[in-house]
Chain A
């Protein structure tokens, strides 16, 4: 049974990917994707029902050797890509990975097999649910999206099969990543995800796509190098393959003092994968890829692998200086990325910066390292995956309505495409406003953050900044001339099914946060940090238990009335939509000093000499003070310093 489940989770996407690669017919390909999606989702629910388990693949086949061989293959491929793209950095960081591995395996003759090879605990179950459900929905979306994409770009030879191959293969790699207990096998899956990312970013084969893919490759390779160095350090200092077991690392089965440096290196790896500062440029560059790539890899799933690693290792660095350093690194990224997002004029870049910011928040929560903040981190992972995945899909749908990615071109979308606007608006509101889940996670994070006050202060500043850029963009979507009657647009089911499923998912998961906490997150939290979980019970309320060390004896730290706030949201936003309707006699023109020509729905006015001119409204972007040119030198310098401090803390924490 477990054999089957693990095989389906990790190997089925590989098989399905090759099948898709072979199929040329659009509908047949779509059917295979949908079937794979259904099987994966069912399998992940089976994992959730079965509960925690451990697994080692059967003895008959040399899985370890296969993984080593594939690893070398990938690294050699990177070297070849470095030559082909003439990118020195790709070459260097592929070499810095190959040489240590070769030394490790052949000179040191390391044995890297250990039992159990895979450990599925509650945190891994939560991650696989996210990967399977949201990942599958995005693959379904990609079926139709890539066809429209190629039609619009007038591509002669269809490469949709190749695209879907990498997309589906990636899901298997992610599953393997979150299940792996052997650090070396985790490294292998990590490299597969980097490879998928490269292939998908460079899919369009334009000059800028190849450049950005190369940048993603070398930046992730720096993380890979740190990974390899951490593995070697652990193997050498702790003696033997058992040092590579993640469970042993976090369980403190070895002398924990000597382990902090490799764990700090692994946190560095996680930070590169999660595009934390100063590595954020690869994620921004990755936005040139088609939207399903951005939705799957660069918001809901692959970058979550980075934060997953940091979160998984949290017990290993708890109580050390590294923990505080990790918290400050994450919090500073949250702040810096939110500030930079205000100046972006492209929708996807705003989403990218927001992703980086929220990943910083999650990493900071892992660094704060109390049961409350770990629970906040897990909640944020779930809600961010749903909301941000949906927002990227919306960005893709909008792009296919107006054929532009610029925010300024999205003016009046509410009149042109009301359904997509509604879904996008709810997605945006769910990112930064109560009672939605992201704010619930942020609320818990703020209430837990006082342990590292510097992180708390960055959280505060960043929260204020996020309001500005989301509201600006949402306002742009809703900007319409006075006119009644907005016809609903037609959306293909390949678009609308994932969008509406995620839309409903936001409400269902947000509303049911009480039971979801009880059945999933409480145990996931205690798997990371053993100890009493700090959130009180209740279906309609989230009550945070006060710390046991509190001096004033307050039993409750804070409470968030979830259902009441959803009721308030319903009364405030959805109730008036049912009852309020304008008649055409009530419409009036906007105030433009009386200079308009024509009826109420005109946006032309009489300029000098009574020439009819359209009036155009622009947004505020503050590119002088908050633009990338202005801020990047500062934030990158500070970020490099903070990361260096983190590694140094790893060294001195003996």
Chain B
């Protein structure tokens, strides 16, 4: 019963938090650019406007995949909130990403395909880091369960700080911020004309927006795990990371997909491998 309440609360409250985070994002970005910026509730206005549009589509499969993206993102978030297995969370997140890519592939539209292929490269860039994080969590705690991370006295950040830096790259990619906003972007990047989301409109685009809100709560939640005890420090660190991403977004220009994969694999993997090697030497094998 308790779990049921937690599930319902997450499904209802997480998008509200996510929407507010996006609103804060646009506001702070605007201020950094010397503008006023929209009100913080702007993403909610966007969402309801989209829900009120006519429903048009280009293929039968579109709805299936974007809806699957939303459901799987919610499932991943619930995996985090219910403190299940971290590796299962990473696999579900991978499935969500694949669903989004397949939705973009499912129409014969050039820009959609550009976006889809680039999104696959993004997944290729961040997936190894998340899997290495899972293994490092096991090396540290002796288990993959998130409940053990939360109840543990020693925070993960102290022994997993190289991977924390690597996870910041993942956060940049997931939030679709420069220099990694390669497959689609919140701003009007005309290079690939909205990429992955180009053929979605109206209610389907609203589903995509909603899934993005769940996603940002999820990824910031993964950062919170680095200091889960006491929780408020973790939340502060996550918020600081969020603000850091906004600053990086406004400083950096968008780079190429290959550069992103190379950077993520060289820096991210090196940090991850060194971290795991250190833990292996210090703690031995379980």
Instruction: Name A's B-contacting residues (CB within 8 A).
Output: 411-412, 414, 433-434, 439, 443, 446-447, 449-451, 453, 456-457, 459-461, 463-465, 467-468, 471-472, 474-476, 478-482, 484, 546-547, 549-554, 556-561, 565, 568, 571-573, 576-577, 580-582, 586-592, 600, 603, 615, 617, 619-620
Contact = CB atoms under 8 A, between A and B. Distances in A.
A617 B108 contact: yes
Contacts of A433: 91, 94-95, 98
Nearest to B60: A582
Given A451-B285, A550-B142, A587 B111 contact: no
Nearest to A370: B285
A464 B128 contact: yes
Contact of B106 (A459, A480, A547, A553): A480
B100 to A, nearest CB: 10
B123 A554 contact: no
A450 B143 contact: no
B67 A554 contact: no
Interface string B261-284: 000000001000100110010010
B63 A546 contact: no
Contacts of B124: 464-465, 467-468
Contacts of B142: 546-547, 550-554, 557
A434 B286 CA distance: 26
A475 B112 CA distance: 11
Contact of A572 (B56, B61, B68, B280): B68
A468 B257 CA distance: 14
Interface residues of B, number: 69
B92 interface: yes
A617 B285 CA distance: 49
Nearest to A465: B124
B102 A588 contact: no
A281 to B, nearest CB: 26
Interface string B230-249: 00000000000000000000
B107 A482 contact: yes
B71 A472 contact: no
Contacts, number: 211
Contacts of A475: 101-102, 104-106, 113, 116
A577 B71 CA distance: 14
B11 to A, nearest CB: 13
B107 A480 contact: yes
Contacts of B56: 586-588
B58 interface: yes
Given A472-B117, A586-B55, A447 B87 contact: yes
B71 A561 contact: no
Given A446-B135, A551-B142, A587-B56, 11 more contacts: A449-B135, A451-B285, A453-B135, A549-B285, A558-B87, A558-B144, A576-B63, A580-B60, A582-B60, A617-B108, A620-B117
Contact of B67 (A457, A565, A576): A576
Contacts of A582: 57, 60
Contacts of A476: 105
23 contacts: A414-B106, A446-B134, A451-B285, A460-B128, A464-B123, A464-B127, A465-B124, A467-B98, A471-B102, A478-B61, A479-B105, A552-B148, A554-B142, A554-B148, A557-B138, A565-B75, A565-B88, A572-B68, A586-B56, A590-B199, A591-B199, A617-B108, A620-B120
Interface of B: 55-61, 63-64, 67-68, 71-72, 75, 84-85, 87-88, 91-92, 94-95, 97-99, 101-102, 104-113, 116-117, 120-121, 123-124, 127-128, 131-132, 134-135, 138-139, 141-145, 148, 152, 193, 198-199, 269, 273, 276-277, 280, 283, 285-286
A560 B145 CA distance: 10
Contacts of B60: 484, 580-582
B194 to A, nearest CB: 8
User: How would you classify the secondary structure of chain B's contact residues: helix, strand, loop or mixed?
Assistant: helix
A572 B67 contact: yes
A467 B120 contact: yes
Nearest to A574: B64
A580 B277 CA distance: 50
B141 A554 contact: yes
Contacts of A559: 84-85, 88, 145
A588 B200 CA distance: 11
Given A467-B120, A558-B143, A580-B64, A474 B102 contact: yes
Given A467-B94, A482-B107, A556 B143 contact: yes
Smallest CB-CB A-B distances: 5 pairs: A475-B105, A590-B109, A554-B143, A464-B127, A558-B144
Contacts of B131: 446, 459-460, 463-464
A547 B144 CA distance: 12
Contacts of A591: 109, 111, 193, 198-199
Given A572-B72, A590-B112, A472 B120 contact: yes
A501 to B, nearest CB: 25
B88 A443 contact: yes
Contacts of A603: 108
A464 B152 CA distance: 29
Interface-central residue, B97, B123, B285, by most chain A CB under 10 Å: B285
A463 B127 contact: yes
A457 B276 contact: yes
Contact of A468 (B63, B87, B88, B120): B120
Contacts of B273: 457
A440 to B, nearest CB: 10
A554 B138 CA distance: 11
A460 B128 CA distance: 6
Nearest to A591: B198
Which of B57, B87, B269, B273 has the most chain A CB atoms closer than 10 A to its own CB? B87
A449 B121 CA distance: 26
A588 B116 CA distance: 20
B63 to A, nearest CB: 5
